[in-house]
Amino acid sequence: MKWVYSFGDGKADGTAAMKNLLGGKGANLAEMSNLGLPVPPGFSITTEVCSYFYKHDQTYPAELRPAVEAALAEVGTMAQGRLGDAARPLLVSVRSGARVSMPGMMDTVLNLGLNAETTEGLAKLTDARFAYDSYRRFIQMYSDVVLGVEHSLFEEILDSEKEAKGVDLDTELNADDLKKIAGLFKERVHKELGRPFPEDVHEQLWGAVGAVFGSWNSARAVTYRRLHNIPEEWGTAVTVQAMVFGNRGETSATGVAFTRDPATGERMLYGEFLINAQGEDVVAGLRTPQPIAKVVRERQGGKRPAMEEALPKTFAELSAICARLEAHFRDMQDLEFTVQEGKLFMLQTRNGKRTAEAALKIAVDMEREGLIDKQTAIGRVDPSALDQLLHPTLDPSAQKEQIAIGLAASPGAATGEIAFTADEAEKVAAERRDVILVRTETSPEDIHGMHAARGILTARGGMTSHAAVVARGMGRPCVSGAGMLKIDIANGVMTAGKHVLKRGDIITIDGATGCVYKGRVGLRQPELTGDFSTLMGWADSIRHLKVRTNADTPQDAATARKFGAEGIGLCRTEHMFFDEHRIVAVRQMILADEESERKAALAKLLPMQRHDFEEIFKVMEGLPVTIRLLDPPLHEFLPQSEQQISAVARDMGWGFVELRAKVNQLHESNPMLGHRGVRLGITYPEIYEMQARAILEAALNVEAAGGVPVQLEIMIPLVAWKQELDRVKERIDAIAAAITTERGKVPSYMIGTMIELPRAALQAAQIAKSAEFFSFGTNDLTQTTIGISRDDAGMFLTDYLNKGVITRDPFVTIDAAGVGELVKIAAQRGRSVRANLKLGICGEHGGDPDSIRFCHETGLDYVSCSPFRVPVARLAAAQAALASINEVD
């Protein structure tokens, strides 16, 4: 068993391909060493040692110690020193490194190998101030990370020494001061622990190695792993490397560079450096780093020289290395370097994190530069991140004053006047002013206000709260759960800390970061041309899944088509009933005692519905449109509070008591599972008949007016029995026959069903005998499978996720709770009786990349999602197709 892998001097035991064993950092150091780049020598202890460590009661395999000794000797030879040798002291860094980067999650120790003797030796070889500064830094870091002594205790000592000397800055302390401070630090450690700070350099080394392995199971690392789905078994490697020093004078420096601008993707050496400093100085923020490239300094209007100007030779060397690394890894690199007395050393390289905008540009540019092919380019952009590009964003250069922060619940930025109720929001919007709806939390009664608002801000609720889910669906920016907001609707004010804002005051929210700002902040509109459309074009040529949209209005349909939707997968018809001009007729229809009365009310609704559909069909220009017949329980259309009941009673000429009794009669204790969907279609067949007539006549009218014939799909919700579908189908076919008689023809149409109940999924073979298509309604299917309603799930599921009871939110990802399994069963059983059964999905999951991959693998024909997620779905579908090609390879 090989436990230790060395690197340095233009060679290495490992390669970049060995990340699982050596960690990302160790593997890439090996690769850079193999490329002959200047890398300080070192070695990596493998992740397998980490696994062994945890399996064997925190002990090491017997062969580890000799292997480390041998590797250390080799490092000494290359670096011309020896650990613990006062005449030629070797200092090392000890760092963690998992397969994937877990920034700041695990431990690092620098300057290891210093004790009273070696520090004295180092002072002789270099200079005393440098040596004692390194020593006190080492004691501080080691004590904190390995021995568990509070960092602040050392800061106290440092501060009181500075005060005694009457100086402000660490740099004003001389060698003697630092030597004294190092002594005080050691005394303090002795006092805290009851044993001395280790002078034995090997004890130091094994202490640090143990601390790095131990940090794999620190609370913060465990949390990070859970949030990012990183398996515990992966473990971390430990990389031990000879130290180089960026704090050895004016020809020394330390820095971080990206081979392209990580914010915009522009091709340039982008980054920062500090002369005469160690990496931690940059992090501590005591000194402001300077840009690496001259153009960046000029753009920022900086006075102090860029690295290109201050260290031109080293800059040229660094540029050449960056170009080489980028070409080698075929991706944008994020690297760390140190310059020690004019000599450049590479300390790390990895694929750089980038914004969505940069990811897009880099992917397309690299394809053009011949570095990667189109398929690789498609895989380089995270579909979920595209969301960031499709909404207005905050102008990064705008002045802003932050007043609160919550969850980044739905992307995009929005500015507008504060409204505290949905009605207020609607009123302001009707006057053509921008409005932000601010609520403690939202409920289904707020929908009209959410629709009218530019953005939504709530004080309570998580990522799956009503506000968050609905806002994402509508494409409205949303910040949820901004707990510091206190909202007083009665007085029309909200407070956020010291800020007090009134109804009508302007605020700006950023749904991409969760920040809330006072006043108007400049916005940038999204660009859907250039690189975006290039990459989308590549994605479209690869994917098999069609992408449709959920749209109830011609506006939504038009937005979705602009984003590339290839049809409507779900047109919910109930929203059309809520319109203020229609609701009276809807209520008359619901409250009617006699069928004739009901028919009269429906006759008023028919032309309005027909008009709705005509407008949508015109926008869709012959693409398929799935229209779902009425779904929600009828009480949703009735007034609820006593006040509302009395107002409606007055309007409709009903008695209050009478109306309240009717409302109570229709009240359902669990409306989600109640008298809704096809059940209504069977008990009140006139409703579906009216809707079927409106759809068929609208299609006929659009065609007669010279429009492209629409591909009609009429969809029945909440079916659980084949017989339910048969009943409704008979009625629709009869209406079609009547229209044929009246007008001489009728458009062709398909009738299908939603699969949104577990029973429907299991009965798919029966149902498919009657249904020409299935559309998976995974919103209801998830609720009915896990037995949790979506509106109630918010807080509760967030808590479950935090406690690790579940790792993925079933309302986001289809396969998180067995819902996917039901979809698979239904697809397979349905197609077993009807081979060409068309399959789609129209629940929220249709816009989630993981779920889209699942849909591709399950053989669905299309996914349908909200307009703003259409590009996300196009890219995710392409990546799914590529993944299955690669699996076959």
Site residues for Mg ion per CB under 5 A = 756, 777, 780
- The active-site residue out of 322, 391, 451, 466 is 466
Lookup: tokens for 422? 């949905």
| H helical segments located in 262-347 | 279-284, 294-300, 307-310, 312-329
d(CA 624, CA 546): 11
Give first-to-last CA distance, the chain, whole Å. 31
Q: Near ligand PEP by CB under 6 A, which window of 257-265, 267-275, 702-710, 771-779? A: 771-779
Nearer to ligand PEP, 50 or 863 (CB): 863
List Cβ neighbours of 160 (8 Å cut-off, separation of 6 or more).
Answer: none
CB 864 within 8 A of CB 568: yes
Which CB atom, from 230 or from 762, has the smaller least distance to ligand PEP? 762
Q: Name the segment binding ligand PEP (CB under 6 A); options: 377-385, 514-522, 706-714, 775-783.
A: 775-783
To ligand PEP, the closest distance from the beta carbon of 681 in angstroms equals 15
User: Which entry of ligand PEP, Mg ion, none binds 255, CB below 5 to 8 A by partner kind?
Assistant: none
The alpha carbons of the chain give a radius of gyration, in whole angstroms, of 33
Q: In the stretch 740-759, what mask flags binding to ligand PEP with x, by CB under 6 A? A: ----------------x---
Q: Which of 797, 821, 799 is nearest to 810 (CA)?
A: 797
In the bound state with ligand PEP, the residue whose beta carbon lies nearer, of 458 and 779, is 779
| Residue 572 touches which member of ligand PEP, Mg ion, none, C-beta under 5-8 Å by kind | ligand PEP
Angle between helices 47-55 and 201-215 (to 10 degrees): 80
Q: Considering only residues 310 through 339, tell me which ones interact with ligand PEP, judged by CB under 6 A.
A: none
Q: Which two tokens stand for residue 538?
A: 């590549």
Cα dihedral: 140, 145, 148, 153 (round 10): 30
Residue 778 contacts which entry, Mg ion, ligand PEP, none (Cβ below 5-8 A, type-dependent): ligand PEP
Nearest distance, CB of residue 830 and Mg ion, angstroms: 18
Which residue do the tokens 């009669």 mark? Answer: 665
Residue from 215, 236, 778, 866 touching ligand PEP (CB under 6 A): that is 778
Residues in contact with ligand PEP, total (CB under 6 A)?
10
Q: How far is the CB of 557 from ligand PEP (least distance, A)?
A: 16
Query: Could you tell me if 853 and 879 are in contact, meaning their C-beta atoms sit under 8 angstroms apart?
Result: yes
Q: Using CB under 6 A, which of the segments 140-148, 511-519, 776-784, 804-812 binds ligand PEP?
A: 776-784
Residue 8 beta carbon to ligand PEP: minimum distance, rounded to whole angstroms = 58
| DSSP string computed for 775-805 | EE-HHHHHHHHHT--HHHHHHHHHHHHHHTS
Instruction: Answer yes or no: 466 catalytic.
Output: yes
For the chain, give the longest Cα–Cα distance: 106
Query: Of 406-435, which residues contact ligand PEP (CB under 6 A)?
Result: none
Which sign, positive or negative, has the C-alpha torsion 626, 627, 631, 635? positive
What tokens does 445 get? Answer: 């009664």
Neighbours of 370 (CB within 10 A): 7
Q: Which structure tokens are listed for 472? A: 């994402």
For residue 842, the partner it binds in Mg ion, ligand PEP, none, with Cβ less than 5 to 8 A by kind, is ligand PEP
Instruction: Out of 478, 515, 842, 855, pick the active-site residue.
Output: 842
Residue ranges of E strands in 460-538: 478-480, 485-488, 493-496, 499-502, 506-510, 515-518, 523-524
Please say which residue, 314 or 464, places its beta carbon nearer to ligand PEP: 464
Min dist. Cβ of residue 473 to ligand PEP (A) = 9
Cβ closest to ligand PEP, residue 417 vs residue 780: 780
Element spanning 604, H or E: helix 595-620
Among Mg ion, ligand PEP, none, what does residue 110 contact (CB within 5–8 Å per kind)?
none
Contact by Cβ (8 Å): 292, 337: no
**Phi, psi (degrees; rounded to nearest 5) at 126:** -115, -110
When binding is defined by CB under 6 A, the residue of 410, 779, 813, 866 that contacts ligand PEP is 779
- The residue behind tokens 């530069």 is 369
Query: 798, 811 in Cβ contact below 8 A?
Result: no
3-state secondary structure string across 682-708: HHCHHHHHHHHHHHHHHHHHHHHCCCC
Minimum gap (Å) between residue 545 Cβ and ligand PEP: 17
What is the smallest separation between the CB atom of 444 and ligand PEP, expressed in angstroms? 11
- Interface positions, 49-108, toward ligand PEP (CB under 6 A): none
Contact 5, 238 (CB under 8 A): no
Report which of 355, 415, 363, 426 is spatially closest to residue 386, judged by C-alpha positions. Answer: 355
* Residue range at the interface with ligand PEP (CB under 6 A); choices 375-383, 515-523, 777-785, 875-883: 777-785
Give me the least distance between CB of 561 and ligand PEP, in Å please: 20
Residue with the shortest CB distance to Mg ion: 780
Residue selected from 506, 714, 842, 863 as contacting ligand PEP according to rule CB under 6 A: 842
Which of residues 31, 686, 689, 780 is near ligand PEP by CB under 6 A? Answer: 780
Distance CA 266, CA 782 (A): 43
Query: Does position 847 bind ligand PEP by CB under 6 A?
Result: no
- Shortest distance in whole angstroms from residue 840 CB to ligand PEP: 11
- Residue 377 or residue 570: which is nearer to ligand PEP going by CB? 570
Candidate segments 445-453, 587-595, 660-668, 772-780, binder of ligand PEP by CB under 6 A = 772-780
Which is closer to Mg ion, CB of 514 or CB of 777?
777
Minimum distance, C-beta of residue 631 to ligand PEP, in the bound complex (Å):
6
Q: Is 552 in the site for ligand PEP (CB under 6 A)?
A: no
Q: Is residue 69 left, alpha or beta, with left meaning phi > 0 and alpha meaning psi from -120 to 50?
A: alpha
Q: For 807, how many CA atoms within 13 A lie in the half-sphere containing its CB?
A: 11
Q: How far is the CB of 626 from ligand PEP (least distance, A)?
A: 11
Between helix 778-786 and helix 819-833 the angle, nearest 10°, is 120
**Which residue, 180 or 572, is less far from ligand PEP as judged by CB?**
572
Contact stretch for ligand PEP (CB under 6 A) within 93-101, 608-616, 773-781, 851-859: 773-781
Shortest distance in whole angstroms from residue 552 CB to ligand PEP: 10
User: Does residue 611 carry a catalytic annotation?
Assistant: no
Q: Check binding of 843 to ligand PEP (CB under 6 A).
A: yes
145 by Cβ neighbours in 10 Å (0-12 / 13-18 / 19+) ranks as buried
What DSSP designation does 173 have?
A: -
Q: Which one-letter amino acid corresponds to residue 748?
A: S
DSSP state of 848: -
- In this chain, which of 129, 524, 572, 660 binds ligand PEP, going by CB under 6 A? 572
Among 570, 645, 712, 826, binds ligand PEP (CB under 6 A): 570
Residue with Cβ nearer Mg ion (331 or 780): 780
Nearer to Mg ion, 418 or 719 (CB): 719
Taking the least distance from each CB to ligand PEP, the nearer of 33 and 778 is: 778
User: What are the residue numbers of the active site?
Assistant: 466, 842
By the criterion CB under 6 A, which residues form the site for ligand PEP? 570, 572, 631, 756, 777-780, 842-843
